[in-house]
């Protein structure tokens, strides 16, 4: 069973950490019956009318467990509340959302998340979408409930967002073979004109920033051909924002 835990707006503009980092740190709070499957950053709608810290993104922790006891959900909820209340920063507007595979509200959260990616929504919209699931604000305006609910919905949707944690994602060298990535559960997908298939022994240059996308509910790494037996990943750290690396 996958359990989705969304965090949003736990930081401030001058902070040395962002919501993504706080979400990644939640792995240390998991009970023995759970393991961290991944953490996915979700990009929400950008508009001058929306107050956000840096890039209007939120993060979803995906937890895997074979324990279907309802008490596990209560336990994880309490752990997540304690985590966000300990580590969110003064002046932020933290929000928390939690749902899981098979929950009847998840389809509404998916629809809500897709709306959040394309237009302005309200706290009332978030509360209606999450009715029956856990959704709570933990300071400030409580606006973080919007992004937290969206993070859960978009991640459960399975076709958007980028992984900021997945296995040993951050331990790979700048150049790695296709087979090494695929053994780690990351599918390498060519997006060149002819959509050729990368050979298992081909090299992938990650530019020091390996961030698979969430495609079909799994990590997929889009690459472009850079010549014989060499591929390069898409995207990279924002060069104009010196804080992006440390905040994520």
Q: Where are the domains of the chain?
A: 2-163, 171-233
Is 78 exposed, middle or buried, given 0-12, 13-18 or 19+ CB atoms closer than 10 A? Answer: exposed
Average of pLDDT values for 54-75?
89
pTM of the model: 0.91
- pLDDT tens, residue by residue, 169-195: 999 999 999 999 999 999 999 998 888
Q: With bands split at pLDDT 50, 70 and 90, how would you rate the model's confidence at 90? A: confident
Query: Does position 94 have pLDDT exceeding 70, yes or no?
Result: yes
Contacts of 103 (CB under 8 A, 6+ apart): 132, 133
**Three-state SS letters, the chain:** CEEEEEEECCCCCCCCCCHHHHHHHHHHHCCCCEEEEEEEEEECCCCCCCCCCCCCEEEEEEEEECCCCHHHHHHHHHHHHHHHHHHCCCCCCCEEEEEECCCCCHHHHHHHHHHHCCCCCCHHHHHHHCECEEEEECCCCCCHHHHHHHHHHHHHHCCCCEEEECCCHHHCCCEEEHHHHHHCCCEEEECCCCCCCCCCCCEEECCCCCCCEEECCEEEEEEEECCCCEEEECCCCCCCCCCHHHHC
Is the pLDDT at 37 greater than 90, yes or no? yes
* pLDDT given for residue 239 in this prediction: 56
Query: What band does 49 get if pLDDT is binned at 50, 70 and 90?
Result: low
* Contact criterion met (CB below 8 Å) for 60 and 161: yes
| Residues 100-145 pLDDT 10s | 999 999 999 999 999 999 998 999 999 999 999 999 999 889 999 9
Degrees, nearest 5: CA angle 232-237-242: 155
Q: What is the mean pLDDT of residues 148-166?
A: 97
Correct CATH for 2-163 of 3.30.70.2200, 3.40.50.970, 1.10.10.10, 3.50.50.60: 3.30.70.2200
Structure tokens at 136: 């709570």
18: phi then psi, degrees, rounded to nearest 5: -115, -175
pLDDT at residue 154 tops 80: yes
User: pLDDT at position 2, please?
Assistant: 97
Q: The tokens of 81 are what?
A: 């509340």
């Amino acid at each position: 069973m996958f359990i989705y835990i969304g965090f949003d707006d736990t930081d401030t503009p001058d902070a040395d950490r962002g919501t993504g980092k706080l979400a990644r740190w939640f792995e240390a709070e998991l009970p023995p019956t759970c393991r961290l499957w991944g953490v996915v950053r979700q990009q929400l709608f950008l508009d001058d009318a929306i107050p956000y810290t840096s890039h209007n993104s939120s993060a979803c922790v995906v937890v895997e467990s074979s324990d279907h006891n309802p008490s596990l959900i209560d336990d994880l909820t309490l752990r997540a509340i304690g985590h966000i209340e300990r580590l969110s920063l003064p002046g932020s507007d933290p929000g928390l959302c939690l749902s899981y595979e098979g929950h009847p509200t998840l389809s509404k959260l998916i629809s809500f998340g897709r709306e959040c990616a394309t237009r302005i929504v309200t706290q009332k919209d978030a509360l209606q979408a999450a009715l029956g699931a856990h959704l709570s604000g933990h300071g400030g305006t409580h606006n973080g409930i919007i992004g937290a609910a969206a993070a859960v919905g978009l991640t459960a949707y399975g076709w958007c967002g980028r992984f900021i944690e997945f296995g040993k994602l951050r331990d790979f060298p700048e150049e790695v073979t296709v087979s090494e990535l695929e053994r780690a559960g990351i599918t390498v997908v060519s997006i060149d004109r002819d959509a050729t298939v990368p050979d298992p022994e081909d090299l992938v240059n990650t530019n020091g920033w390996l961030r698979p996308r969430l495609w079909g509910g799994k990590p997929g790494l889009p690459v472009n051909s850079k010549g014989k037996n060499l591929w390069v990943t898409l995207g990279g750290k924002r060069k104009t924002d010196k804080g992006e690396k440390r905040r994520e």
